[in-house]
Each structure stands twice: as C-alpha cells, then as structure tokens.
Amino acid sequence: MVDFDFGRRLKELRLQAGLTQKQLASRIGVTTSVVSFYELRERTPSPEVLAKLSAIFHVSTDYLLGIEKDRTINVSGLDDDDIKIIAQMVEQLRRKNKRTKQGE
C-alpha cells in the first residue's frame, strides 16, 4: 500500500529548500493558499504542478507521491568526476551513520 502523505513530504522539501509557501506558490504559479491546501492534504496538485514541484526540489514525482520511499539525487549536469565524488561522500555518510546506530 502506498503511504500517500504528499502534504507532509511537500512541506519537508519546502522547508529544507528554505522556501516560504508564498515563494513556492510563485514558482509553481498558484496562490499561497493553494500551497497551504496541498500541505494540509485538502487539495491535490495537477500533473503539471506535480512536474514543476519535482523539478524545483530535484526529486521524482513518485517520491513526492509516496510511491518511492527513497529520495534520489539528481546528478544531471555534473561530469563523471563530480558524480564519483558524490558517490564517495554518500558511502562515507552511510558508514558513519551505521557506526552511530551501532553505538546507540
């Protein structure tokens, strides 16, 4: 079963990006109240708005909708060396988090 909590996920992404509801609304072409309704799960975005949100936050629409549980990193526009550096950083963070959890 899909955990459809689009509103929670949208709010988390918006806050992580340092955007207000008004700023996000302006970027996707809706009113501030519509963004609020999305976050409160009172409205669902159109496919066009969903695609805009996906591009703004660099996540898949499946992630926004709760279909995909894992957040991915969009590496388009980066060269192979940059992607290699990111992959190494991710692996180091995984090892650090594993050690932290084992020490709890």
- Per-residue pLDDT reduced to its tens digit, 8-26: 999 999 999 999 999 999 9
pLDDT for the residue 35: 97
Output the six-digit token pair for 70: 């894992």
DSSP 5: -
Is pLDDT of 2 > 60?
Answer: no
Confidence of residue 104 (pLDDT cuts 50, 70, 90): low
Tens digit of pLDDT for each residue in 26-64?
999 999 999 999 999 899 899 999 999 998 998 889 889
**Whole-number Cα distances in Å, 34 to 3, 22, 46, 58, 78:** 22, 10, 11, 21, 34
**Closest alpha carbon to 17 in 70, 65, 54:** 54
